[in-house]
Structure formats: C-alpha cells, structure tokens
C-alpha cells in the first residue's frame, strides 16, 4: 500500500518535471513566425532533390533545392529560417492555420490552390513522367489503359492522372501520402505505374535500376512556386529576390547543383527475386532512427500519467451517484472510445489553431489526444478496480468519520490501482505502440525517423523492420519493469 502511493506521487512528480522541461525547450514546437526575425518554412521532405532529410551523422536536417533557395531568400531579406514539415496534403492547411509563413515543396500554383493561398513567381519548371518497371512498356498515357496508377495524394500529379483517366479507359488510381510509398508499391507489384515529376523520378530510377521513367509530353509544364497565406506581406519582397536570383543565374546554378548530380545513394542491391534485405544500407542511419526513442518514451510517459489522472477523475465521476456527472463521464467515454484515435489526433492538431487561436505543436496535440483518449479507457478500468475493493472498507472508514474524498484517496484508490496494475501495463504498451500515429502529424519519433531514412535511401523494408525491432525491445523492457513492480507490490502487502 505504501508503495502504491509512492508510485502515484512519483508519477505526478514525473509529469510535472516533464511538463516543465518541455515547456522550456521543445525542439519540435510548431511555432509559426516565432519572432519578427524568424520565418517559418513548411515543406514535405519526401521529395529528393527538392527537399529531403540529410541523415548523415544522426542529424535530422532537411536539405535540397528548395531549402537552398529558402535560405538565400531569408538571408537576403534579413530573416532567420526555421524549417518544419508535414505530409504534402497538410501544407496548405498549415498555411491557413498560420502555422508557417511559407511553403516550398515543389508546389505548383493551380486555380484551386490559388483560392486558398497566394503564390510567388515560378522558380522552376518540371515535367511529369510515367514511372514503371523496366520492360513493362508503359511509356505513354495511352499505355496506362486498364492499369493501376499511383500518385501522391493532393498533388497535381493526382489531378493530371485523373485527366488522363478521363481520356484513357480503365485506369485505376491509387493515392498515397508519400512519393517513396508510391515507388515501393510499383516495386511490390501492387500498382503498375506511377506519375512522378521528372527530377524526382530520376532519383528513384537511379536508386532502383529495375524502374524506368518516361516524360509525358503535355501542353503545360508544372512550375514550382512559393506559397504564402492569403494576403501575406511577404509575396512582394520574395518575388523581388527570386527575380534577382533568376537574373543573376543563381537559380540556374542551384538547379544544376541539385538536379544534374547523381543522387547520393549507395548502389542498391539487385532486385532479382527472393527476399533481398540489405541492412548495411541503413547502418549509417541507425543513430538517426535511435534518436526517435527518447521522444517516443517521453510521449508515452506523459500520455500514460496524464491519462491515469484524467481516467481517475472520470471514474470517480462515474461512481459519485450524482446523475448528471455520471452521465457526462459516460457520454465522454463513449465518444472517445467510439471514434478512431487517428481521427481524434487529426482533429485536435488541425482544428485547435482554428478554434482557439492557440498554435498547438504536434507533440502537444499528440499528448493531449492520447491523454483524452486513454483517460476514457482507463476510467472504465479504474472504475472496475474501485468497485472490486471490498465494500466493508469504505463503510468502516466512513463510520470512523473519515471524509469521503480522503477515504477514496487513502484507502480505496491505492488498492484499486494495485489490482488494475496489469491492465494499466496493457494500456501503457498500447500507448507506446500507438505513439507511432503521431508520425502522421510530423513528430519525428521512431516510425517517422525510419520512414525518413527509407525515403532518403529509396528503400522501404529495412528501416521499418529496424523500427519494429526497437518498438519490440521497448515493449519487452516495459513488460519486465512492470512485472518487477508488481512483485514488489505483492511483497509489500
């Protein structure tokens, strides 16, 4: 009993400690236009050589053609630059939510986008290509008849593919979040081809010799421009500097630097059937993936502790016997258990700035959602635990004049917690693994780090398998730790 309370207090203390640490220095804070002196760029770094992660030496740095240009622009205009990331289809929403000052992501101005954001002048022209396995003879749009074609969600490649599908019969589209995923789908034969911009396709074809790409002859090229929130005062100064860079040939120079080089990937293992995994290709990136661990742990610790507190409150509401409170707590639980966690996460992350004006960081949104969600689950477990404690105890305490809340805190809760420890461990394991979901809103935890490495190396399995191994080891550690704790609690009885 002594131990259970000590445990509760330690947990509380840990939460407070972590909160105070994270509020002071949160490396992943999603602040937009921090001060007047810093501009925030948001990009989708799955697009080498425009933007991708340089993972050498365990650093997580986004580099590429766009980033070089952004750096020059910021410098010329006297700003510091901060780079954030999201999936491509989250970029414009990020501008609308005022999460960033501008987007550079090889983004093409289209009429629909122009309704929502403002664009700079075009700084680079590219063409679409069809990427397909060598010898598949899928070279022109008409060859795609009856084929499955992959595109990145929310891009003009998606739109262009839809246009082609109107003319060519039987095309089935598959939209994915990231370009490397699209390429992987071709390699695994789940789609027949993909539509990808030329410079990007070139890199993937170099890294995967079993693929080839052919430019689609089309009326319009897809130029890249910078996107800003509507009526941003940055458009004009940015255009001026861009024009200067064009005139002085600086843009052309950067284009040569990034687009004509051979992509810096090691030669991939040949793809001649069989399971040819080659972990040596990700060796240099292992430190990078490992750096996701502290964040995953921090995230889990925070969500579990706060969820436990919140769950306890809810469970107490459920057993008060005060009807409206019970009803509220039950309604809450049913909503949070009745909708997907991923959906809750997206809602909290994207809706909070719009509804409250508070620019919630991805990490905060994650912790908040997971706390709200796991509180709902835990409240049921804790309620069960409380009700399982022998009635005689509360009666005895109350008859001795111990106030209700003190009796709960001192007598009932510690026993209930001890009984439900295994269930709490289950919940923690669940949260640890579900933490991978926050990768979808751009927190670079373990899964996201692995995906980044995959995108960089144009490979897929190896980093994911490695990430799986890390999760497994963490869960095992947790399991052992929990059984040790349980043993000690039993002994202290």
Residue ranges that bind ligand ARG, judged by CB under 6 A? 44, 46-47, 50-51, 88, 105-108, 152, 155-157, 179, 197, 222
Q: Give me the least distance between CB of 109 and ligand ARG, in Å please.
A: 8
Three-state SS annotation for 331-364: HHHHHHHHCCHHHHHHHHHHHHHHHHCCCCCHHH
| C-beta closer to ligand ARG: residue 47 or 102 | 47
Q: Give me the least distance between CB of 491 and ligand ARG, in Å please.
A: 56
| C-beta closer to ligand ARG: residue 155 or 373 | 155
Q: Give me the least distance between CB of 186 and ligand ARG, in Å please.
A: 17
| C-beta closer to ligand ARG: residue 179 or 234 | 179
Q: Give me the least distance between CB of 160 and ligand ARG, in Å please.
A: 9
| C-beta closer to ligand ARG: residue 30 or 107 | 107
Structure tokens at 248: 């002085």
Q: Give me the least distance between CB of 51 and ligand ARG, in Å please.
A: 6
Whole-number Å distance between alpha carbons of 269 and 281: 9
Q: Is 273 left (phi over 0), alpha (psi -120 to 50) or beta?
A: left
Count H helices, E strands: the chain?
Answer: 20, 13
| C-beta closer to ligand ARG: residue 179 or 329 | 179
- For 430-457, b/e burial (b = at least 16 CB within 10 A) is bbbbbbbbbbbbbbbbbbbbbbbbbbbb
Whole-number Å distance between alpha carbons of 159 and 181: 18
Task: Specify whether the CB–CB gap between 234 and 73 falls below 8 A.
Answer: no
Q: Give me the least distance between CB of 154 and ligand ARG, in Å please.
A: 7
| C-beta closer to ligand ARG: residue 18 or 153 | 153
Q: Which helix (H) or strand (E) holds 39?
A: strand 38-43
Q: Give me the least distance between CB of 44 and ligand ARG, in Å please.
A: 4
Three-state SS annotation for 376-439: HHHHHHHHHHHHHCCHHHHHHHHHCCCCHHHHHHHHHHHHHHHHCHHHHHHHHHHHHHHHHHHH
| C-beta closer to ligand ARG: residue 44 or 120 | 44
Adjacent-strand bridge partners of 223: 125
Q: Give me the least distance between CB of 223 and ligand ARG, in Å please.
A: 8
Q: Give me the least distance between CB of 482 and ligand ARG, in Å please.
A: 41
Whole-number Å distance between alpha carbons of 218 and 225: 19
| C-beta closer to ligand ARG: residue 99 or 383 | 99
Q: Give me the least distance between CB of 258 and ligand ARG, in Å please.
A: 13
| C-beta closer to ligand ARG: residue 51 or 192 | 51
Q: Give me the least distance between CB of 200 and ligand ARG, in Å please.
A: 8
Helix (H, G, I), strand (E, B) or coil at 204: helix
| C-beta closer to ligand ARG: residue 156 or 207 | 156
Task: Specify whether the CB–CB gap between 416 and 385 falls below 8 A.
Answer: yes
| C-beta closer to ligand ARG: residue 89 or 394 | 89
Whole-number Å distance between alpha carbons of 186 and 230: 37
| C-beta closer to ligand ARG: residue 90 or 311 | 90
Q: Give me the least distance between CB of 124 and ligand ARG, in Å please.
A: 10
| C-beta closer to ligand ARG: residue 105 or 289 | 105
Helix, strand, coil percentages (3-state) for the chain, rounded to 5, are 60, 15, 25
Whole-number Å distance between alpha carbons of 155 and 158: 5
Where would I find the H helices in 177-291?
Answer: 179-187, 198-207, 235-247, 250-255, 286-290
How many angstroms from the chain centroid is the CA of residue 264?
25
Residue 41's alpha-carbon distances to 58, 66, 89, 91, 269, in angstroms, are 22, 10, 15, 10, 36
Q: Which residues lie closer than 8 Å to 209 by C-beta, 6 or more apart?
A: 134, 268, 270, 271
Torsion sign (Cα): 24, 29, 31, 35: positive
Q: Give me the least distance between CB of 151 and ligand ARG, in Å please.
A: 9
End-to-end CA distance of the chain: 7
């Amino acid at each position: 009993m002594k131990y259970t309370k000590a445990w509760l207090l330690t947990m509380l203390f840990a939460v407070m400690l972590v909160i105070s640490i994270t509020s002071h220095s949160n490396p992943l804070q999603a602040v937009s236009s921090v001060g007047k002196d810093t501009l925030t760029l948001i990009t989708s770094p799955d697009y080498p050589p425009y933007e991708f992660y340089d993972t050498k030496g365990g650093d997580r740095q986004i580099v590429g053609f766009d980033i070089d240009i952004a750096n020059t622009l910021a410098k010329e205009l006297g700003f510091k630059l901060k780079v954030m990331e999201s999936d491509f289809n989250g970029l414009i929403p990020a501008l609308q939510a005022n999460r960033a000052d501008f987007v550079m992501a090889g983004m093409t101005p289209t009429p629909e986008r122009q309704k929502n954001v403002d664009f700079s002048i075009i700084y680079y022209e590219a063409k679409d290509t069809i990427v397909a396995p060598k010898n598949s003879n899928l070279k022109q749009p008409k060859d795609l008849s009856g084929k499955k074609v992959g595109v990145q969600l929310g891009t003009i490649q998606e739109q262009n593919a839809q246009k082609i599908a109107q003319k060519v019969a039987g095309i089935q589209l598959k939209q994915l979040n990231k370009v490397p995923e699209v390429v992987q789908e071709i390699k695994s034969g789940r789609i027949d081809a993909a539509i990808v911009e030329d410079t990007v396709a070139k890199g993937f074809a170099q890294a995967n010799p079993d693929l080839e790409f052919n430019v689609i002859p089309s009326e319009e090229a897809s130029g890249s421009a910078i996107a800003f929130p509507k009526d941003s005062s940055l458009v004009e100064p940015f255009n001026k500097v861009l024009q200067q860079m064009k005139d002085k040939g600086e843009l052309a120079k950067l284009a040569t630097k990034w687009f004509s080089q051979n992509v810096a990937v090691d030669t991939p293992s040949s793809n001649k059937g069989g399971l040819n995994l080659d972990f040596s290709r990700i060796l240099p990136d292992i430190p990078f993936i490992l750096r996701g661990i502290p964040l995953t742990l921090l995230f889990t610790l925070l969500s579990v502790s706060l969820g436990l507190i919140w769950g306890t409150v809810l469970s107490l509401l459920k057993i008060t016997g005060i009807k409206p409170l019970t009803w509220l707590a039950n309604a809450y639980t049913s909503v949070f258990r009745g909708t997907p966690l991923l959906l809750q996460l997206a809602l909290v992350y994207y809706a909070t700035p719009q509804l409250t004006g508070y620019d919630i960081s991805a990490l905060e949104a994650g912790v908040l959602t997971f706390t709200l969600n796991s509180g709902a689950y835990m409240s049921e477990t804790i309620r069960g635990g409380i009700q399982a404690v022998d009635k005689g105890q509360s009666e005895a305490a109350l008859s001795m004049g111990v106030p209700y809340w003190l009796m709960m805190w001192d007598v009932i809760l510690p026993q209930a917690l001890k009984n439900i420890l295994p269930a709490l461990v289950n919940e923690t394991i669940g949260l640890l693994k579900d933490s991978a979901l926050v990768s979808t809103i751009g927190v670079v935890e373990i899964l996201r780090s692995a995906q980044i490495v995959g995108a960089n190396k144009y490979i897929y399995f190896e980093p994911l398998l490695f990430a799986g191994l890390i999760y497994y080891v963490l869960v095992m550690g947790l399991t052992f730790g929990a059984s040790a704790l349980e043993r000690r609690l039993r002994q202290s009885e």
